[in-house]
Amino acid sequence: MTDVTRVASIQELYDRHAAFVYGLALSMLGDASAAEELTQDVFLQCWQRWDQYDPARGSVRTFLATVTRSRAIDRIRRRGRRVPEVAWEEFADTGPDPDSLEDAVDDRLTMQRVRAALGALPAPQRQALIMCYFGGMSAREIAQRLGDPLGTVKTRIRLGLMRLREVLDSRGEGG
């Protein structure tokens, strides 16, 4: 690949996915300039490996989300702040509304569908899952922070992820 086509491909990659990457970075870091820096890092890293990227092995979006989350967690742990910026209560706003779940039945994972699935979880499960995914906290750290037993927190995370998986898998299986 020549440099010209490389630049064209990063441009396309950026235009298509920058808002997704930046949105995720912003919710994890809670700081616009840190999120910008991270977005830049993510695209440069992906671009460096672009010629080795195999679309058959997973969506670009998943790949970008994984890189973004790892880099955000690196930053969170490096600066020693382990409090997630994401207000987990926000996810309750969508509420356990069965209609929104049905409407969202679609081939693509949409924000509404994932948020509805999260919103339908019991609050402690949703909280544990969000502290873990967006806050980059381990089960032990969550237990310490909430003052709950470690075993309880682990169970909440497992039940939360299982339920999320069920809801997301149920698409296209009638109802």
Distance CA 55, CA 46 (A): 13
**Residue 5 is a binding residue for other proteins (CB under 8 A):** no
**Residue 29 is a binding residue for other proteins (CB under 8 A):** no
Distance CA 153, CA 65 (A): 25
HSE (CB half, 13 Å, CA atoms) of 77?
11
Say how many residues touch other proteins, by CB under 8 A.
67
- Rg (the chain; Cα; Å): 18
| Nearest C-alpha neighbor of 93 from the set 126, 136, 70, 55 | 126
CB 59 to other proteins: min, Å:
9
**Residue 144 is a binding residue for other proteins (CB under 8 A):** no
Distance CA 74, CA 136 (A): 9
Only one residue has tokens 């906290």, namely: 137
Return the residue of 30, 155, 170, 171 that touches other proteins, per CB under 8 A. 155
**Residue 154 is a binding residue for other proteins (CB under 8 A):** yes
What tokens appear for 113 in the block? 């569908």
Distance CA 75, CA 83 (A): 12
> Binding string, 42-81, against other proteins, x = CB under 8 A?
-xx--xxx--xxx--x---xx--xx-xxx--xx--xx---
**Residue 146 is a binding residue for other proteins (CB under 8 A):** no
Residue numbers of the site for other proteins (CB under 8 A)?
A: 3, 6-7, 10-11, 14-15, 18-20, 22-24, 26-27, 35-36, 39-40, 43-44, 47-49, 52-54, 57, 61-62, 65-66, 68-70, 73-74, 77-78, 86, 91, 109-111, 113-115, 117-118, 129, 132-134, 137-140, 142, 154-155, 157-158, 161-162, 164-165, 168
